[in-house]
Structure 1
């Protein structure tokens, strides 16, 4: 029967009792991996965006202690942690497997979230330092989710539905990330109302604590998941030829790293400080500034979501590369409209929020959707996590720089310039994408692995590609079937 067919059997060098994996077990694992990746990535969007309203609350609760410097430090802590998480976990998921990396990131998010919720100190400044460290731990976890979950989702989608790999990947990566914004604001509004628009300390602590529940909800499925067939066949466990990797992928790395840097330079500070931006255009005479800020921010986050679905639809019609350039062009159009008409448009808050949301939505349509997809499809399985993590880390470095520069830009150039600079970045994004991103298709990822393996062999590499021991769980103690080739590949035998 088809369900009894085996995808994996012991190597000749392995003990006869070496465990095996059935096709049925692998298919179930692929489905749960896709779902669990999406649900867990909501926590990244949630923790990134809960700080939007927490900034407003903390500024009201601690007007003297929560200075611009402290606010930037607390906000940037997540980014710094993400950079380390993306690079380290990117390497880890290539060397030790997708499952090990995913379980590790889940634990880091939960531990960091608990510590952030319990932030305290002998002084208010001490409390903010504990919050900074805790958000750094959360950042390491959510940063690691990028290469760990995204590579797993891409490889699982490749096996489950090749023709729809792009849309599936987007709907379980960027959609949860983007949905984190309205979810975070919705949670804030519920908690804020339950606390009678007071008790600010309770509000931000509860909001931080709820973020821990998101990764825990799929923790069981993550423990039970298997590494993908692509990984078991294409992993390089030792002696990775990084010089050859750079020679082979230098152009793609410039494209994914450069475009991600530009995208996060604009989108992250505009997301983190959107509450501050919206609060600044609400009349100061209003008695419910915090509530109105949250409500407008919820609308802003909701307006950004349609771009995710439009990008998922377009990526198979006009291609990944063209979709990303289209999204960057939206930064140019809406950034210039808001920036040039800032004084007039901010007097009409609904109009300002709509155009602001359209700018964010165009970001989701293009680089928001495509960067993860392109970074997961451009590189071979053996270095997918490493190259994906590096690209995302460079992006988060752009986010950290953008967040750091956000306040000085507003102070010295004026608030309109945050949007004019977004338009300039849009032009640069189009250029980087055009010259350095290759036009990708729905080609099976195993074909890329084969070409990369051929290149390595032709240039003298003679290492092992594949999991040599092939240790995996078996279903019901079934024995290996016949005609199934061992998935360990010696590159020297190519």
Structure 2
């Protein structure tokens, strides 16, 4: 039973949807717009990097990035993201959400520009510099995950909180789409302005000197949306939940939210003082009480995000390889280097329009009606179905007349990833943990996801290689092939369904009700526990 409800928190939970909600979505969401642009735009230019820098440098296959270089270019930002999620998640609980919120954006702006200005006298030098700056780009991106999710959840009312937090994350879809559009525009401009010959004898034959500008411009463009929102991010007040429940300053919390909500709110300092001395409001992350109350919740949020990102990031970062394997992208000898960027970006835009973006916004529309648990379980189920649907009859899909069907199935996989666990794994950790540990726990959960992304990115590159040496990329060891790689991803999604049972449903409840911060110590149950208790108490 709830006790000592703070007036400022009650006002936030009951607030009608106002302009400040949409402002917060845009301010927080533009960070994720930039995140997605920066993380996934690299997929559009990796082939171009191979043609520019690895033509006559002893590469196993001229015009192609060597395996270790490809892994570094695609995976280093994910490593930085994991580190940033853990560091800024912890820092957001120690110093406050707002104090470190602008720092993540500043890092992203600087590293985006620096990535495009990567320098060196040799190909190795340029790629090493690029990887260095992309690590720090990922570090800034990582900080945006726990901070944006926590800020939005603590600003929102309890009836539409899921939609607001999901809308912040849905900006990722627009970021992926924007990345594809920028790549299309830049490659088109350069392809028309500087006509390059087709790839004939070697990679150098398909290049013009201006090709080096293409990937640099595409990567630097990621700084623009982040820079545009920096001022407004600095103007946001600290969240009332952090100020009242963690900093214990009821007066400041009431003052900040009175301006935001445009209503008079009593400070309630005496209630804050009573809440602060309760044992269930003082346990730490590594305490027995946390393990008892939230241990399974944290296991659930970490494992589901980990399993999701293995499939999601491997599919997203290596779309170009999947399209090539089914023959949807022509071989390099039929395209010049810049036109290849255009073709890869075109495929990314089509998938984003048909599957990725709609999936995100279906979640926004239905998450507060269907609930987080149902959407996550449904998403994992259909991702499993479509992955097996692609994998089992894989030879059927590789025929020229069936490629459209493959792309439809592939787009549906992304649709149910985003109208499913890719959105809900972001939302739930921002709701179910105590305010003083909320950012930290979200950072741990999202870092588990990035660990899965790293495994997916690194593992997919090798596993998808054919056993037949004549059919795999030079320099790569034998893998299990694209067909069985898709089977593994299907099994991964299936496991995600089972671990979803550890995650509680948070629809329609206040954050304090979910975390037990204004209660006598009772904790919220997992869905499996809820079902078990419901069966025990059901009338006969």
TM-score by length of 1: 0.82
In the alignment, the residues of structure 1 paired with residue 432 and residue 334 of structure 2 have an alpha-carbon distance, to the nearest angstrom, of 51
Are the structure 2 counterparts of residues 171 and 97 from structure 1 closer, same or farther at C-alpha, using a change threshold of 3 Å?
same
Once the two structures are superposed, the pairs formed by residues 206-221 of structure 1 within 5 Å of their partners are 206-221=217-232
Q: 2:330 aligns with which of 280, 283, 299?
A: 283
Q: Which has the larger displacement, 308-317 or 146-155? A: 308-317
* Residue pair 1:45, 1:180 contacting (<8 A) in 2 also: yes
Q: 1:166 aligns with which of 151, 156, 162?
A: 162
Provide the residue aligned with 1:248 in structure 2. 293
Provide the residue aligned with 2:212 in structure 1. 201
Q: Which has the larger displacement, 184-193 or 334-343? A: 334-343
Are the structure 2 counterparts of residues 7 and 155 from structure 1 closer, same or farther at C-alpha, using a change threshold of 3 Å?
closer
Residues 295-325 of structure 1 deviation map (CA, whole Å, 9 limit, x = unaligned): 1221012222221122223322322111101
Q: 2:37 aligns with which of 27, 46, 54?
A: 46
Residues 442-475 of structure 1 deviation map (CA, whole Å, 9 limit, x = unaligned): 212133355477439xxxxxxxxxxxxxxxxxxx
* Residue pair 2:54, 2:123 contacting (<8 A) in 1 also: no
* Residue pair 1:279, 1:293 contacting (<8 A) in 2 also: no
Are the structure 2 counterparts of residues 101 and 28 from structure 1 closer, same or farther at C-alpha, using a change threshold of 3 Å?
farther
Partner SS for 1:178: helix
Q: 1:385 aligns with which of 439, 442, 451?
A: 439
TM-score by length of 2: 0.76
* Residue pair 2:386, 2:412 contacting (<8 A) in 1 also: yes
Provide the residue aligned with 2:507 in structure 1. 441
4+ long deviations beyond 4 Å: 27-31, 236-240
Gaps of 5+ in 2: 1-6, 10-14, 60-64, 193-207, 249-275, 277-281, 466-478, 523-540
Q: 1:185 aligns with which of 173, 180, 185?
A: 180
In the alignment, the residues of structure 2 paired with residue 112 and residue 289 of structure 1 have an alpha-carbon distance, to the nearest angstrom, of 26
Cα drift, residue 177 of structure 1: 1.2
* Residue pair 1:78, 1:138 contacting (<8 A) in 2 also: yes
1:427 aligns with 2:494: yes
Provide the residue aligned with 2:234 in structure 1. 223
In the alignment, the residues of structure 2 paired with residue 279 and residue 53 of structure 1 have an alpha-carbon distance, to the nearest angstrom, of 13
In the alignment, the residues of structure 1 paired with residue 228 and residue 122 of structure 2 have an alpha-carbon distance, to the nearest angstrom, of 35
In the alignment, the residues of structure 1 paired with residue 8 and residue 419 of structure 2 have an alpha-carbon distance, to the nearest angstrom, of 37
Tell me: higher relative CO, structure 1 or 2? Use CA pairs within 8 A at least 6 residues apart.
1
Are the structure 2 counterparts of residues 106 and 453 from structure 1 closer, same or farther at C-alpha, using a change threshold of 3 Å?
farther
In the alignment, the residues of structure 2 paired with residue 132 and residue 61 of structure 1 have an alpha-carbon distance, to the nearest angstrom, of 16
Q: Which has the larger displacement, 112-121 or 257-266? A: 112-121
* RMSD, aligned α-carbons: 2.5
* Residue pair 1:34, 1:157 contacting (<8 A) in 2 also: no
In the alignment, the residues of structure 1 paired with residue 45 and residue 106 of structure 2 have an alpha-carbon distance, to the nearest angstrom, of 23
Provide the residue aligned with 1:302 in structure 2. 353
Partner SS for 2:71: helix
Provide the residue aligned with 2:480 in structure 1. 413
Partner SS for 2:420: helix
Once the two structures are superposed, the pairs formed by residues 266-345 of structure 1 within 5 Å of their partners are 266-280=311-325, 281=327, 282-284=329-331, 286-287=334-335, 289-303=340-354, 304-345=356-397
Residues 391-444 of structure 1 deviation map (CA, whole Å, 9 limit, x = unaligned): 00011011001111112211211111222112101110000002x111222212
Cα drift, residue 44 of structure 1: 0.6
Partner SS for 2:369: coil
Cα drift, residue 117 of structure 1: 1.1
Q: 1:375 aligns with which of 429, 432, 443?
A: 429
In the alignment, the residues of structure 2 paired with residue 89 and residue 400 of structure 1 have an alpha-carbon distance, to the nearest angstrom, of 19
* Residue pair 2:297, 2:504 contacting (<8 A) in 1 also: yes
Q: Which has the larger displacement, 311-320 or 278-287? A: 278-287
Once the two structures are superposed, the pairs formed by residues 347-358 of structure 1 within 5 Å of their partners are 347=399, 348-358=402-412
